[in-house]
Structure 1
Amino acid sequence: MGERIDIPAHCFDSKPLFASPPEREVVDEVRAWVKKNPVYLWRGHTHSKPNAEEAGQIRYINDFVLPKGVESPCPCCTPHHAKFGKGYIAWFPLTGNVRLMGQDCFRTLNPEGHDFAVSELDERIKRESEQQFLLSKLGNIPAIMAGIRAAEPIAEYLDDLRDILGPRVQTLTGINLWSLVRSGSLNLIVETREGATSAYYATVAGATLLDPARRRYAKALLMAKQAIGAINLPFDPIKASDIDRSAAAKLMARGVNFAEDTLAAMAQARLFVSVLNTATLRNWAEQENARARLYIRRDGLQLYIGANQKEAHVIPLNPVIDRSIPRLSE
């Protein structure tokens, strides 16, 4: 145990300032206070140990964390010695007192009350989080669904392009593009005293476009629409039951995450057929110590690809390849 801390006598006075559970403003005030000030000096903190009657009822309003390396005395167990860095804002209904205490300290006084208060706090935080999430998203559902629909033609073409640049190009040219770029980088073969080794040359952009194992982008967007569309509208997250609200929050989160992740993946994947990336691939293949011979060039909506320029085949590109990929409405 560390050095004894002299706590001012007034800190131990009862401060029945809270006849009802403290609101969010009090939580914000406490969290701001403890960043720069001793916990026990907060205006609403009662530093005396609760007696058996007062300890019979407790509610954890929220948590707080002290700055790294800082610890505070606890009114329940170590009133004069630093002990905790993570605490609870604890409200005692019988007296209206609030104590800022360590997150496990009250257990020794009332194990059942502590466990109930922790469970109630966890459920309340989850409920409030789901409510706020749904309130921020429900009004944007039409815009979100419109963004997904606008991206579907691009997704479908990128899925088609995987097949075109995979099996079709290999049939036409004998070149397995995926085997050349699957690592995401291009290397050159370098001879050393120890033998041949690989040396980094450049990064390949959008190699995942060709990945035969990836989920089809169009399917992922469909799954996003289905998840969001499964929410029964209109939906009131405040009045809804816990079961219905949690189900709606999961559907919304699943749909939005699917859509956002897929749109980001699409934006990255289509870089594979960009002028810059095809030039990188072409320049790499021109090196004497490259592992393969490849000619690939983007010219407008035409992609030339082959073992060399003379043998290059023309792959026409759908104009949707250059459409802006939508951003989902916040």
Structure 2
Amino acid sequence: MPEPSTDQLFYLPGLQERKAERTRRIAELLGSSLGGHGPTGAAVAHAVAHHLLEGAEQAAANRNGDLLSWYRRTELRDLAYLASTDSAGSAHLLLNPEDGHLLQSPLSETAYYLVAPETSVAPAALHELLATALDSARKHGFGGLVDQYAPIVCLLERRELRDTLFSWSITRLPGTVFTDYTSAPEVLARDLVHEAGHHWFNEALATASVSLPEDVTFHSPWRETERPAFGFLHACWAFSLTVIYSAAVLDSAPPPVQAFLRDYLAGQGRLLRAAVPNFGEAASLITSEQLRERVSGAVDAALRCAQELPEPSEEVSSC
């Protein structure tokens, strides 16, 4: 199956400038330089800045002076020991917190993790898994997306392909991906593409000054419920990206992974087709023509990728 070109899909004027300004403002608030030109680059600096900001706010609220001081004085170079560098030389921070170390707070409906003084280095095998997954994403046209919008990867539970895999991202920690993982780098790459896609869409909406109405809803076939335009469009966009990636990697994946991805593609094709009747109206709410064309183009490409595949042998997980 031919690989769709994604070279220009993730470029929008002003995206990087907005992220750089946000990083600068957080560093100024913390009284730190963050070392944005350090070994891991501006993308990681942006993601780390939000970890440090959230950590500092929580430490201040809990009156923990020592921890507050750590979050305020930490520079990007101080976290270089967590870096996981792939064959292209692009560094990401890899987190692998122990059971029970995830946090619950009003910050997010889902659990999350913040870098902290006790954050330790992930096992070498996970660094290798991540590097291979990033190489796969890059080979199939998604390197820029995962480098810029998933620079911090938090690997959670190790699971088998037959298990339900959970991944998520939260808006207060842009650039951080939380995900379960298997031994298959192609599957990890798929989930990195998905969550990085969510982060990209959030940044793109903000950069283009697009405000989606909260009182307009659409039926989401992924959740079998009505969702606001924001959530519905997020699902259409992010799942389309995973379909495009999965179709591109399908033929080169080992047989068990190939079977898994074939079922995934068939299931996502069915769900995307079910979303099509509402997609046009939802997309019309994106007031930026350039962004609207990007999202519509991704959905169209995903439908083409999935159109000739069989129905799945089991249900696919939802966003």
Where on the TM-score scale, by shorter chain, does this alignment land: which range?
under 0.3
**Higher RCO (CA-CA < 8 Å; seq separation 6+):** 2
Greater helix proportion: 2
Greater strand proportion: 1
Larger Rg, first or second structure (1 or 2): 1
What TM-score does the superposition give when structure 2 sets the normalisation length?
A: 0.23
